[in-house]
């Protein structure tokens, strides 16, 4: 079993006739999926998604893949294949196309419609190539075949990429629901045909590799939703991903059965459901969907709201409702349904929202107390079945945290993939497929790129560390005026604290210590302002640590007069 280690250096030049696969996101994390294929000097990208920030990344809106590895070769990219329309697979496309808007996008009808709507907000009109399952397209030197897979959004595709170096199959996100709502099954016969041809490398969705057995059917949720509707006396508010068309369809069906009107809340939800309806993926009974402004004219027992925020995102509609920062006010007797799973890392944010909603009197229904969600990813039983069909010569688990990647690797080995043909990589690790063997050859830069408002890439890990310190420990500002000729104090020191839990008057004992330290440094000839700032920071920091066991940020201001 191959795996990366810290000593990996830059990869060598790609050998003639070899194919290089480099994930720039999606390995060791849930999100930010992006994989770069290189052959003969040309590039094909599969997916380009975002990762949503966690608590230790305050102020960050989105996290992008690092485009550094391909930035000076954007003209070599023959296309971006998008496997499906979830944000963790398409969300970073606008940021890449800002750098080169001429890169073609390849995907299914719904996927392209969702990304085109997103790009319109960025004023980018992309070149698109719509494909369907069963079709093959030549994209530069890459012969791509598209295969139907079942997921929690319609029109998901896997892709088989053929080059003279061999065939690589990327599943995208998939499961093997045998009773899908839209009747579109994961195309196992085609995967079996690809196995007969010879699947040289399989990049497989590992998200649920630790979950035993088989994922329940999507349609099993309908009974739980109907039960919620049958027992709700007031408004029903359903939070879901803005692209989860299947789940929204089930909510619409239940609302129709119980004679309720539905309003979509949130810009992305309104946009995506409008697209899905226009393209025929979402079937809405006539006059059922109303504008949110019409809700005041309807009795509460006839209202359903469908909104974003199932992951506790701070600016999403549901979080704002929980915080009483939204036009829709949660009241006693409302029923809120979180129709999604918890993405790892979002648990605290979601439970904060649940507590906030409960505080205002809402009954909150979620996966922990009702069957209102099933996963969109294949579990261990399905993966075993899938590996036995595909018979990959080399296996590389993707789409998952480390524990998921390891679990998928073990399943592959159990089905007969040789241990030395299983590659566990991480973001930035280059894997070369040459003469039927996949092996790790080096590592490139693939760190986090933070989006903060209109800023892209300006926020660094050091910036986030400062934000965390400010948020957890507060800061102390120290103003000192010194004589530029002799370094003697002529003003201050004035000390103020914010967010540190220390009263400004409490600093009186340290003022004398600071004056003494500054006088001593002046006598020693230390007059340079930067050195004086360091002395102020050390003196105040040590005193606070000794007396309060806190480490706030110290902001010294030294003015020469």
- Summarize the annotated binding site for Zn(2+) as residue ranges: 84, 86, 88-89, 151, 173, 399
| Cα–Cα distance list, 144 to 106, 133, 217, 466, 479 (Å) | 10, 11, 30, 46, 64
Instruction: Give, as one character, the DSSP assignment of residue 59.
Output: T
Catalytic hit among 205, 334, 427, 432: 205
Tokens of 545: 């640590």
CA distance 481 to 243: 58
Please name the residue ranges forming H helices in 177-265: 188-197, 221-231, 245-257
Annotated binding-site positions for Ca(2+): 59, 61, 452
Q: State yes or no: is 182 an active-site residue.
A: no
Structure tokens at 223: 């009974």
Give the integer Cα–Cα distance in Å for 160 and 424. 20
- Edge-first strand order for the sheet with 429-434 is 128-130, 105-107, 77-81, 42-46, 34-39, 19-25, 429-434, 437-443
Distance of alpha carbon 142 from alpha carbon 332, whole angstroms: 58
Annotated binding-site ranges: 59, 61, 84, 86, 88-89, 151, 173, 242-244, 373-377, 399, 452
Residues 6 or more apart whose Cβ sits within 8 Å of residue 255:
229, 236, 261, 262, 288, 304
Classify burial at 509, counting beta carbons within 10 Å of its beta carbon; exposed 0-12, middle 13-18, buried 19 or more.
exposed
Residues β-bridged to residue 20: 38, 432
Q: Indicate the annotated binding residues for substrate.
A: 242-244, 373-377
State the catalytic residue, choosing from 246, 326, 366, 377.
Answer: 377
377 is annotated as an active-site residue = yes
Q: Which residues of 304-321 are buried (b: 16+ CB within 10 A; e: fewer)?
A: bbbbbbbbbbeebbbbbb
Which amino acids are annotated catalytic? 205, 377
């Amino acid at each position: 079993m191959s795996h990366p280690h810290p000593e990996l250096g830059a990869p060598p030049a790609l050998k003639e006739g070899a194919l290089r696969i480099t994930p720039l996101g999606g390995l060791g994390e849930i999100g930010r999926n992006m994989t770069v294929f290189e052959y003969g000097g040309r590039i094909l990208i599969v997916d380009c998604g975002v990762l949503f920030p966690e608590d230790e990344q305050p102020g960050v809106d989105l996290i992008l893949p690092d485009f550094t590895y391909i930035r000076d070769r954007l003209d070599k990219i023959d296309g971006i294949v998008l496997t499906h329309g979830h944000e963790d697979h398409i969300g970073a496309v606008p940021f890449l196309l800002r750098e080169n808007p001429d890169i073609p996008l390849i995907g299914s009808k719904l996927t392209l419609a969702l990304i085109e709507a997103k790009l319109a907000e960025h004023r980018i009109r992309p070149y698109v190539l719509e494909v369907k399952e069963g079709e093959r397209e030549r994209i530069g030197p890459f012969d791509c075949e598209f295969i139907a897979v079942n997921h929690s959004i319609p029109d998901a595709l896997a892709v088989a990429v053929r080059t003279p170096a061999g065939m690589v199959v990327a599943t995208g996100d998939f499961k093997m629901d045998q009773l899908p709502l839209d009747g579109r099954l994961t195309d196992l016969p085609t995967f079996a045909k690809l196995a007969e041809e010879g699947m040289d490398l399989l990049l497989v969705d590992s998200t649920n590799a630790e979950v035993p057995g088989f994922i329940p059917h999507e349609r099993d949720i309908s009974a739980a939703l109907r039960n919620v509707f049958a027992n709700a006396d007031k408004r029903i508010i359903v939070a879901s991903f803005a692209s989860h068309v299947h789940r929204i369809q089930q909510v619409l069906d239940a609302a129709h059965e119980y004679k309720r009107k539905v309003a979509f809340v949130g810009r992305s939800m309104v946009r995506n459901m409008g697209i899905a309806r226009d393209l025929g993926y979402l079937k809405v009974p006539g006059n059922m969907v109303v504008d949110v402004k019409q809700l005041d004219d309807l009795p509460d027992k006839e209202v359903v709201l469908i909104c974003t925020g199932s992951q506790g995102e701070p600016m999403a509609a549901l979080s704002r409702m929980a915080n009483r920062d939204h036009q829709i006010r949660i009241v006693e007797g409302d029923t809120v349904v979180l129709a999604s799973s918890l993405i790892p890392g979002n648990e605290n944010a979601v439970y904060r929202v649940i507590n906030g909603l409960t505080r205002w009197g809402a009954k909150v229904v979620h996966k922990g107390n009702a069957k209102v969600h099933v996963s969109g990813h294949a579990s261990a039983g399905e993966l075993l079945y899938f590996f036995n069909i595909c018979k990959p010569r080399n296996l590389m688990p993707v789409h998952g945290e480390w524990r998921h990647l390891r679990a998928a690797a073990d399943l592959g080995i159990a089905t007969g993939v040789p241990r030395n043909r299983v590659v566990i990589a991480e973001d930035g690790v280059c894997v070369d497929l040459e003469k039927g063997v996949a092996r790790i050859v080096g590592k490139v830069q693939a760190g986090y790129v933070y989006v903060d408002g209109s800023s892209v890439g300006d926020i660094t890990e050091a910036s986030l560390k400062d934000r965390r310190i400010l948020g957890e420990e507060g800061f102390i500002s120290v103003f000192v005026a010194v004589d530029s000729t002799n370094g003697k104090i002529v003003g201050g020191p004035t000390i103020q604290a914010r967010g540190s839990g220390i009263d400004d008057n409490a600093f009186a004992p340290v003022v004398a210590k600071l004056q003494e330290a500054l006088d001593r440094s002046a006598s020693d000839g230390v007059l340079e302002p930067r050195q004086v700032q360091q002395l102020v920071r050390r003196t105040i920091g040590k005193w606070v640590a000794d007396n309060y066991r806190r480490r706030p940020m110290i902001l010294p201001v030294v003015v020469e007069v």
